[in-house]
Structure 1
Amino acid sequence: MLHLLPYHAATHEAAVLALFHSNVPRYFTAPEEADLLRYLRTGLPYFVAVETPDEAAEEDPTGTVVAAAGYALDDDQVDLTWDLVHAGRHGQGLGRLLTEFRLQEAARLFPHQPVQVETSQLTAGFYQKLGFRLLETQPDYWAPDLDLCRLQYEPLAATR
């Protein structure tokens, strides 16, 4: 069973770092760990997806953190932040689940704000399949052969 829970440093920091490390060097560079830790300490909304045995209690789901992601309000847009899915769990719908959850949160809390994500060319297509539009690409931004792709999702409320 999968539970989406708010991030708590004491409980989840090591697990989130393990998610990050499982994606280095393919999707992230090792020096980005310091940026992730700074972000986690900001208190901005961040969530972990915890997989538990089916019989685990809903009130206290203990299990394995398999994905994590957050969001932040930035001036006139919502930014999706630090999307992490354990490398061994890619392609199983966890990224979609977290992205759709955050889009719903953004629509509820900030109904007229566009949603942006900065990612690489390796995952830009994932967001495009969910309705994001590519705004900009900067070659070799994150590292050699790891480009910045800035994408935007326009909420339905903003198009009315």
Structure 2
Amino acid sequence: MIRKYSNTDKSKLIQLLRQNIPEYFATSEELDFKEYLENEIEDYFIYEEDSEIIGAGGINYFPDEKIARISWDMIDPKHQGKGIGKKLTQHRINHLNDNLNVELIIVRTSQLVYKFYEKMGFELEKIEKDFWAKGFDLYQMKMDNNTKVRRS
């Protein structure tokens, strides 16, 4: 089940992030994630099975640029490769398709998972070496938002 984030999820999400360090996130990113949850969160979604948080991912909005950014995606390592990331990402794309104010969806990821977003329809826009931390490069990707109303 996918649901909206609640403040009571915070400690479990920090644990989920830690389970993905150092494979997908640098240790230094934990402080960034805490800051995000406390001050920068806009839309954030939780994937849950049997009351256990299996994955999570957010959206941040930049209305002046008509951009939304997919942010802070993570899946429990025991459940990776089971399609949960795809469901969470598609849920957010569908959520954004209903938003007339968003023309472009971007994701800022790393060399470790950019192929996943490519399969979801994102195109690579730029690469910046050691952006997140040493050995964690920025792969910025984009996708046009196919807003339902705009298409008609």
Above 0.5 in TM-score? yes
Structure 1 gap ranges (5+): 53-62
In 2 relative to 1, CA 140–159 (structure 1 residues): closer, same or farther, beyond 3 Å? farther
* 2:113 partner amino acid: T
For residue 119 of structure 1, the aligned residue among 102, 109, 112 is: 109
Deviations 1:104-136 (A, max 9, x none): 111102465110000001110000001100000
- Equivalence for 1:44: 42
1:102: how far off? 0.4
Q: Distance in 2 between matches of 1:110 and 1:123?
A: 29
Separation (CA, whole Å) in 1 of partners of 2:28 and 2:55: 20
SS of the residue corresponding to residue 66 of structure 1 reads: strand
Task: Give the superposition deviation at 1:41.
Answer: 1.7
Establish whether residue 107 from structure 1 lines up as the match of residue 97 from structure 2. Answer: yes
Question: Which amino acid in the other structure matches residue 92 of structure 2?
Answer: R
2:2 aligned with 1:14: no
What's the CA shift string for 1:54-87, capped at 9, x where partnerless? xxxxxxxxx1100011101113200001001011
The Cα shift of 1:145 comes to 2.2
Write the letter of the residue equivalent to 1:47: F
2: distance between equivalents of 1:81 and 1:71?
A: 6
SS in 2 for 1:134: strand
Q: What TM-score, normalized by structure 2, do the two folds share?
A: 0.90
Q: What is the SS of the residue equivalent to 2:128? A: strand
Partner of 2:21: 24
- Offset, 1:13: 1.0
Note if contact 1:70-1:82 (Cα within 8 Å) is conserved in structure 2. Answer: yes
Which residue is equivalent to 1:56?
A: none
Q: Secondary structure at the match of 2:98?
A: helix
Q: What runs of 5+ residues in structure 2 fail to find an aligned partner?
A: none
Q: RMSD value over aligned CA atoms?
A: 1.7
Distance 2:22 2:105 in 1: 27
Q: Give the distance between the partners of 2:37 and 2:10, measured in 1 at CA.
A: 8
The question of 1:94 aligning with 2:84 is answered: yes
Task: Report deviation, 1:143.
Answer: 2.2
Cross-structure match for 2:57: 69
Q: Secondary structure at the match of 2:21?
A: coil
* Count of aligned positions: 147
Counterpart of 1:18 in 2: which secondary structure?
helix
Identity %: 28
Output the TM-score relative to the length of structure 1: 0.85
